[in-house]
Structure 1
Amino acid sequence: ELESPIITQMNVENPGELEATFKAIEEKWGKLDFVIHSIAFCPMDDLHGRVTDCSKDGFLQAMRVSCYSLIEMARLAEPLMKDGGALVTMTYYGADKVVENYNVMGPVKAALESTVRYLAAELGSKKIRVHAVSPGPLKTRAASGIAHFDKLIEEAIARTPEHRLVDIEDVGMTTAFLVSGGARALTGDTIYVDGGFHNMA
């Protein structure tokens, strides 16, 4: 639908696929202005269980896919961002506060947000900005894997000042701003797009 001239297979757990994607970008465009990192995974048994009971393999896979892949993308994007650029990843409120049923993804997203701050500090001299966008609950296929997700939806509607859910368009508009020149003085922050949910006690 977007008529993209580049469509590649990119499973971050398959060696070489991420590198091949960035190689295709280099050959087709020669440079890169921004990267949107919107990927997360955790085995279902570990996601639905207590953090205390999370398996080592499940934890490592969740960190590998959901957090370390951002580091890999930053490393591959850096030489292509010749005039500066922006990296944006997606996080969630459960990184900062304990959210029932979010379980091990809370620590994983906390690591992701910390990674954003370190990448911002390291890449700033090259005018590469790094952001984390933290949407409220969104009705997506990925979110449907969270146990009792409907309860999160109901709570968000009840607690936000406007009593509504945010949607993909809200997240898109914020992200478009962050990768634009209008956000040139912002980097290393977690930007909440949750209708004010995170401000409510």
Structure 2
Amino acid sequence: MSESAHDPLPTVWNPDDRIGDMLKGLRGLVVGVANESSIAFGCAAKLRAFGAEVALTYADERTRDFVAPLAAQIGASLLLPLNVEQPGELDAVFARLRQDWGRLDFVVHSIAFAPKDDLHGRVIDCSADGFTRAMRISVYSFLELSRAAEQLMTQGGTLLTMSYYGADKVVNNYNIMGLAKASLEASVRYLAAELGGKNIRVYAVSPGPLKTRAASGIAHFDELVEAAVNRSPGRRLVDIAEIGRVVAFLVGGGASGMTGDTIYVDAGLHNMA
């Protein structure tokens, strides 16, 4: 099946949506699907389209109502609860993966959070509790997932997380999340160095702004989107299918000579002054 440069995701999953077997035989966990607009769903859909098996998680029962139909649509093998702030839930996810699969080939981490008051305020005014919670959910959870995945990646694997340009440059209204994403990208480099000997590759993927549920919490987000469209070389935003295809490439053998990198998928926006 051929695809356009930025095709929409299918409304109904069917065999015709399979676009190859590049990832056939690989099994992985995708964390962070909230609805059909989630970057994590774009990744899961494309990983499935290229032949991989995927397990999805949901943060709570309300989110499950949105995620379960998407899991069924793409034929996800497992749908499991995971709130990284709840003790024991991550261990339960990996116990199930060990029981059902026995190994793991990739993890996609696509979760981030900061309390609204701290996100909308100046970085210098961020509360200690808000800072700690933003780092706990947005950064430390990636370390936790990676540590658990390491035990199942007996034949090597790939760990991926989602960053943003605000990790490297000051972006108006991104505020405390800029600090969190900078820490996340540093984590990618350190994990790549520590896990390289086990043939585990680690990446941050840095999309341009997208209209996701998580992004809606950023103040004046519409202005950020408008600026991205006006400044990017292609005068457009990227979509979640494009991000998913890049993730599929990184998981596959074509990226075997890369690790520790931040990969921008933002229509060239990060190159513009």
- Smaller-chain TM-score range? over 0.9
**Per-residue deviation, residues 128-170 of structure 1 (Å, max 9, x unmatched):** 0000000000110110000000001011101111101001011
In structure 1, what is the equivalent of residue 244 of structure 2? 172
How far is 1:2 from its partner? 2.5
Runs of 5+ consecutive residues of structure 2 not aligned to the other structure: 1-72
How far is 1:79 from its partner? 1.2
Q: Does 1:145 align with 2:247?
A: no
Q: Does 1:41 align with 2:121?
A: no
**Per-residue deviation, residues 39-97 of structure 1 (Å, max 9, x unmatched):** 00100000000001100000000000000001101110001011100000000000000
**SS at 2:151 equivalent:** helix
**SS at 1:157 equivalent:** helix
Instruction: Return the alpha-carbon distance in structure 2 between the equivalents of residues 149 and 59 of structure 1.
Output: 21
1:115 to 175, 187, 194: 187
Say whether the 8 Å CA contact 1:135–1:171 is kept in structure 2.
yes
TM-score, structure 1 normalization:
0.99
In structure 2, what is the equivalent of residue 56 of structure 1? 128
Alignment map for 1:1-201 (pairs within 5 Å): 1-201=73-273
Runs of 5+ consecutive residues of structure 1 not aligned to the other structure: none
Which stretch has the larger CA shift, 178-187 or 3-12? 3-12
**SS at 2:82 equivalent:** coil
In structure 1, what is the equivalent of residue 46 of structure 2? none
In the alignment of these two chains, the number of paired residues is 201
Query: RMSD value over aligned CA atoms?
Result: 0.6
Instruction: Return the alpha-carbon distance in structure 1 between the equivalents of residues 112 and 234 of structure 2.
Output: 29
Amino acid at match of 2:243: V
**SS at 1:21 equivalent:** helix
Instruction: Return the alpha-carbon distance in structure 1 between the equivalents of residues 228 and 249 of structure 2.
Output: 24
Instruction: Return the alpha-carbon distance in structure 1 between the equivalents of residues 100 and 217 of structure 2.
Output: 36
**SS at 1:172 equivalent:** helix
Instruction: Return the alpha-carbon distance in structure 1 between the equivalents of residues 74 and 99 of structure 2.
Output: 20
**SS at 1:7 equivalent:** strand
Say whether the 8 Å CA contact 1:6–1:24 is kept in structure 2.
no
Percent identity over paired residues? 65
How far is 1:5 from its partner? 3.0
TM-score, structure 2 normalization:
0.73
